Structure formats: C-alpha cells, structure tokens
Amino acid sequence: MKIPTPRIEAVIFYPAGPFCRIEVVTRLVPESLDLVECLARGPAPGQRTKILMAVRKLLGQLGRCGVRHPDLNARNILLSPSPHGWIAHLLDVDAVSLE
C-alpha cells in the first residue's frame, strides 16, 4: 500500500554537534494547505466532511501499514483537491518508522 506524501526531491544531512540534522526537500503540491489552514478557512459543510474523510483514510493507511510518526499533528497533514474530493498527504517523514 502506498502512503501519499509529496515527492521527495532531496535529503540533506549536515552535522549538528555530536549528531546529524536531516532536511527533506519535497516537491510542491499545487493548491495544497495543511489541515490547520484548511479548517481555519471555514470550508463548506460538505467539503469539511470530504476533508475529514481524506484524513481518516490517511490515518487508516498509516495504521494498516504499521507506520509510526512520532510528530504526527494537524500541520503534518497536507490536503490537496482532487476530482473526487481531497487527498491527504503525510509530511515530516524524516522520523517515520515501521513497526
């Protein structure tokens, strides 16, 4: 099963004291908003339901695939319109692990 995420274009590693920092550069998803922005704009009731259904679908996929995201929050879910409603994409994937 494929988890929707923006396409990763580059991963940058650089020293940070005794550790290493990682930056993940992703492709821009046109017309997208994070979940916080999307809901703050006050979508129409029918759109709100479609948005929440897309988020529910993403969370279900994560659970079925055993994906653990230690910093999953509303800002790490990106929503983009599609012909059939909305697609929820997972962001901040550098710390994601599989159970």
Predicted confidence pLDDT, tens digits, the chain (99 residues): 689 999 999 999 999 999 999 888 999 999 999 999 999 999 888 899 999 999 999 999 999 999 999 999 999 999 999 998 999 999 998 888 998
Q: CA-to-CA distance for 25 and 72, rounded, in angstroms? A: 18
Name the percent of the chain in helix, strand, coil, to the closest 5: 35, 35, 30
Q: CA-to-CA distance for 59 and 98, rounded, in angstroms? A: 14
pTM confidence score: 0.87
Q: Are 89 and 79 in contact (CB under 8 A)?
A: yes
N- to C-terminal Cα separation, the chain: 15
